[in-house]
């Protein structure tokens, strides 16, 4: 399914480049191949104050309806950001991984500090497309040297969440997801 989402995101750039909030496709899309026959795409902007304070690009929920080969109609929801005429996929990480899309989205003027850390967590909660991902945690934000940990949940007995590394001025220079944050 993740490959399908990447393919759809690439094609949606072409579909949404007209600026329309929705589109009806009359013919199968030759780029999608086995995901041919995209019948509709709708776009809704996320309007959360934290998103506007942290990120430099608009964030959208896309709903794509298509008819893959030998399957009934499929509806897929995607969360994307739009940067200079292209779309980037926002996803909930499933394992330890670097998150270049997050670095790409953060406003260069944003500084991660004790004061802005709750805003960053609110922005992460708003953009990650999984309503049950962020659990109530006793200590959801931790500063550990040059790293900030935004704890989302537990994985077995380990804490898991986002790790943002900052430079001395507070600019976020690295973003990753970890299944094993220090307790």
Q: pLDDT at residue 36 above 70?
A: no
Q: Which of 34-48, 56-70, 157-171 has the highest mean pLDDT?
A: 157-171
Say whether both 48 and 69 belong to one domain: yes
pLDDT digits 0-9 by tens, 1-19 = 444 444 555 555 444 443 4
Instruction: Give residue 49's pLDDT.
Output: 95
Say whether both 109 and 48 belong to one domain: no
Say whether both 18 and 82 belong to one domain: yes
**End position of a domain, from candidates 65, 89, 113:** 89
DSSP letter at 9 equals H
Instruction: Give residue 132's pLDDT.
Output: 58
**End position of a domain, from candidates 69, 89, 109:** 89
Say whether both 31 and 67 belong to one domain: yes
Say whether both 68 and 112 belong to one domain: no
For residue 160, list its beta bridge partners: 153
Cα(125)–Cα(81) distance, integer angstroms = 15
Number of folded domains in the chain? 2
- 108 compared with 76, residue with greater pLDDT: 108
Instruction: Give residue 39's pLDDT.
Output: 72
Contact 14, 30 (CB under 8 A): no
Say whether both 71 and 107 belong to one domain: no
Domain range spanning residue 167?
A: 93-181
Say whether both 106 and 167 belong to one domain: yes
- Three-state secondary structure call for residue 99: coil
Whole-prediction pTM? 0.77
């Amino acid at each position: 399914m993740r490959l399908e989402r990447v393919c759809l995101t690439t094609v949606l750039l072409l579909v949404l480049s007209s600026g329309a909030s929705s589109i009806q496709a009359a013919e199968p899309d030759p780029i999608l191949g086995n995901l041919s026959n995209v019948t509709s795409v709708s776009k809704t902007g996320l309007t959360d104050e934290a998103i506007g304070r942290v990120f430099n690009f608009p964030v959208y929920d896309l709903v794509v309806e298509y008819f893959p080969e030998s399957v009934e109609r499929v509806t897929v929801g995607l969360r994307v950001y739009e940067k200079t005429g292209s779309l980037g996929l926002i996803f909930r990480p499933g394992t330890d991984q670097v998150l270049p899309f997050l670095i790409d989205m953060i406003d260069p003027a944003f500084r991660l500090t004790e004061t802005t850390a709750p805003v960053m967590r609110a922005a992460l909660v708003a953009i990650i497309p999984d309503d049950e991902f962020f659990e109530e945690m006793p200590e959801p934000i931790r500063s550990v040297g040059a790293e900030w940990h935004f704890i989302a949940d537990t994985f077995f007995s380990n804490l898991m969440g986002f790790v943002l590394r900052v430079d001395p001025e507070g600019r976020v220079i690295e973003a990753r997801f970890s299944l094993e944050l220090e307790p």
